[in-house]
Amino acid sequence: MINPYEIGRRTLLAASTALLLASTAIVLPTGAAADEPVRGGVLRIATLGLDTADPHRHTGSIGVQQVYVEALTSIAPDGSAVPWLAESFDVSDDGLSYTFRIRDGVTFHNGDSLTAEEVRANFERVRQNVEGGWLASAMQFTETFEAPDDNTFVVTMNAPYAPFLNLISELWILSPNSPGWDETITQPIGTGPFTFGEWTPNVSLMAPAFEGYWDGDRPYLDAVEFDLHDGADQSLALRSGDLHIGRVSRDQLPMVEADGNIAIQNLKDTTWFFWSFNNRSPNPPLDNVRVREAITYALDKSAYMDFIAGEQGIVTNQMVIPGNFHFDEALHEGDAHAAPNLELARQILEEEGVDPSAVTLQVVSWQRPYAEVAVQMVRELGFEIEHAALDDLGAQQRLGQYDWDLAPMASGPRADVFLRFVRMMSDGPNPVLWGGVQDEEYDRLVSAAVAEADPERRRQHYLDAWQMVMDNYWTVVTGHAPTLFGVRNEVLGFEFGFTFGPHYAGGGLAHAWLAE
């Protein structure tokens, strides 16, 4: 368990760096990377599901389509946007013009060559036809799409929009000849190392290798088979060898590690854990920020994250981890809630005239054990608690009613930090987990960050917005934990990237092979 408040800054940074490095070191047995890749074989993997054959219409986390469709940019393991189908890109100083140099020699799975005109058609399709998802929001900032020649694509914005390069890492470039292009694509024709083969929803996707892939002699595998079953225990299939790569929950970890044939990897971005107060329609006495502060003093972050993630838990008060560009060391060191302080909590409650035994708090959560830990911590102050632990949809519904007080929640990896800040904007997507914040000043700060071309000034706007979140006790971050996967030892050359995508620039399934 890493407790940065006790072990200091250097150790904290070393530990978080070690977390990143360990995930890299684990996947490649000594000397394996230098070995000559072996061709052939079908790699079986289970990460997330696949809801639609139309890559432009996804609405959430995605962990399958990256193998058959690619984008102009890709998210590097450190979270930055790097060129992918674009060989390079330039952003004008005012942030209003993006010029992409389209890579030569890229062909679609139907044999057509990729040119800037196809790229333009994809951007137009997303802007005109897609109603939901991050991309639809990003497209509101675009003015024109131009393809002056086969290798140049220019996007002109109506206002600067800093997350653009990161967000278009999920704007997949497809052949306009893909069946269903005018409505819903049923057979995506992309440029990825594998093709969209046979898809059976909730069952499997068989993706055969694309022989004309543009990146050297890759891929090495004959095919990738995605297991798309909901609710199946992937750890058993991993141990039996039915799956080569699959998710592993924390409680399954000891048995999977003891197997001896499976290495543990994690996504480079983390899941952040937090508890939110009802900000849209707070009930007394929770409408008093001092009472929220008092309740937060009951939170033992170290114990909480230890319960969730054990030694891999990272305790902090921010939505990104140490080492991330947007992480602020001073803010971290100054966290007043680094350790619980029940005495101070009771003193504040007394000052505010709150008798905890006379207050029943409504706590809403998913059916996760850590929520009960949060409940027990708040009970220490003497509050009565009614805890509704609901399934995903039930919690979504209940949170949307804003008739509750406290929600211990978590949120997974995202392609850009803006996708975390946007949740607390007045018109943000699915704001219920963060208590439905509606605050003009917060909106202004995040909008200013988005519109700021200079990275340092943008970071400061984000930090100012985050300071507001902390000062108002809208949401209190407890820490971070990695998302874990088991990778069987016969899989070589494979490493997970920043998010769930199993194929990205410079890594992923195109680089993987199966040991003989």
Partner 1 sequence: MTTVLTVLWHLTRAATLIAGITILVFLLVRVVPGDVVDVLAIEGGLTDAQAEALRANLGLTVSWFDQFRAWCIGVLQGDFGESLRFRVPAADLLWHAIPVTLRLAAASLLLGFVLAVSVSLLATLRPQSVFVSLVDALNIWSISVPTFCAGLVGILVFSLWLGWLPVLGNFLVPVIILGVDAAGQIVKPLHEEMKELGTAAYVRTARAKGLHPLRIVIVHVLPAAAPVLLAMTGLIAASFIGGALTMEVLFGLPGVGSLAFNAINGRDYPLIQAVVLFLAVSVILINFATDLAHRLIDPRPER
Residue numbers at the binding site for partner 1 (CB under 8 A) = 51-54, 57-61, 131-134, 136-137, 184, 186, 200-203, 227, 229-233, 236-237, 239-243, 392-394, 396-397, 411, 419, 423, 427-430, 433
Q: Which is nearer to partner 1, 433 or 469 (CB)?
A: 433
Q: Which is nearer to partner 1, 170 or 215 (CB)?
A: 170
| φ, ψ of residue 406 in degrees (nearest 5) | -140, 140
Q: Which is nearer to partner 1, 190 or 413 (CB)?
A: 413
Residues in CB range of 82: below 8 A, 6 or more apart? 73, 74, 75, 76, 505, 506
Element holding 346 (H helix, E strand): helix 342-351
Q: Which is nearer to partner 1, 27 or 433 (CB)?
A: 433
The distance of closest approach from Cβ of residue 392 to partner 1 in the complex, given in angstroms and rounded to an integer, is: 5
SS3 string of 246-296?
EECCHHHHHHHHHHCCEEEEEEEEEEEEEEEECCCCCCCCCCCHHHHHHHH
Q: Which is nearer to partner 1, 58 or 103 (CB)?
A: 58
Q: Which is nearer to partner 1, 350 or 391 (CB)?
A: 391
Q: Which is nearer to partner 1, 111 or 231 (CB)?
A: 231
**Residue 226 near residue 46 (C-beta atoms within 8 A):** yes
The distance of closest approach from Cβ of residue 414 to partner 1 in the complex, given in angstroms and rounded to an integer, is: 8
Q: Which is nearer to partner 1, 4 or 486 (CB)?
A: 486
The distance of closest approach from Cβ of residue 102 to partner 1 in the complex, given in angstroms and rounded to an integer, is: 27
Rounded-to-integer distance, Cα 38 and Cα 46, Å: 22
The distance of closest approach from Cβ of residue 391 to partner 1 in the complex, given in angstroms and rounded to an integer, is: 8
The distance of closest approach from Cβ of residue 35 to partner 1 in the complex, given in angstroms and rounded to an integer, is: 26
The distance of closest approach from Cβ of residue 489 to partner 1 in the complex, given in angstroms and rounded to an integer, is: 16
Calculate the CA dihedral of residues 363, 464, 447, 296 and round it to 10 degrees.
0
Rg of the chain taking only CA atoms, in angstroms: 24
Dig out the tokens for 396 from the structure. 């979504």
The distance of closest approach from Cβ of residue 364 to partner 1 in the complex, given in angstroms and rounded to an integer, is: 14
Q: Which is nearer to partner 1, 274 or 297 (CB)?
A: 274
Q: Which is nearer to partner 1, 187 or 362 (CB)?
A: 187
Q: Shortest CA distance to 462 belongs to which of 320, 335, 323, 337?
A: 320
DSSP string, 62-107: -SSGGGT-B-SEEE-TTS-EEESSEEEEEE-TTS-EEEEEEPTT-B
The distance of closest approach from Cβ of residue 433 to partner 1 in the complex, given in angstroms and rounded to an integer, is: 8
Q: Shortest CA distance to 188 belongs to which of 210, 214, 155?
A: 210
Dig out the tokens for 148 from the structure. 């002056």
The distance of closest approach from Cβ of residue 145 to partner 1 in the complex, given in angstroms and rounded to an integer, is: 21
Q: Which is nearer to partner 1, 58 or 301 (CB)?
A: 58
The distance of closest approach from Cβ of residue 5 to partner 1 in the complex, given in angstroms and rounded to an integer, is: 30
Residue type, 411: S
The distance of closest approach from Cβ of residue 327 to partner 1 in the complex, given in angstroms and rounded to an integer, is: 22
Q: How many CA atoms lie within 13 A of 239 on its CB side?
A: 14
Dig out the tokens for 39 from the structure. 């061709």
**Residue 488 near residue 262 (C-beta atoms within 8 A):** yes
Q: Give the CA distances from residue 253 to residues 9, 20, 47, 262, in Å, rounded to whole numbers and listed in that order.
A: 29, 18, 16, 10
Triad 393, 398, 404: Cα angle to 5°: 145
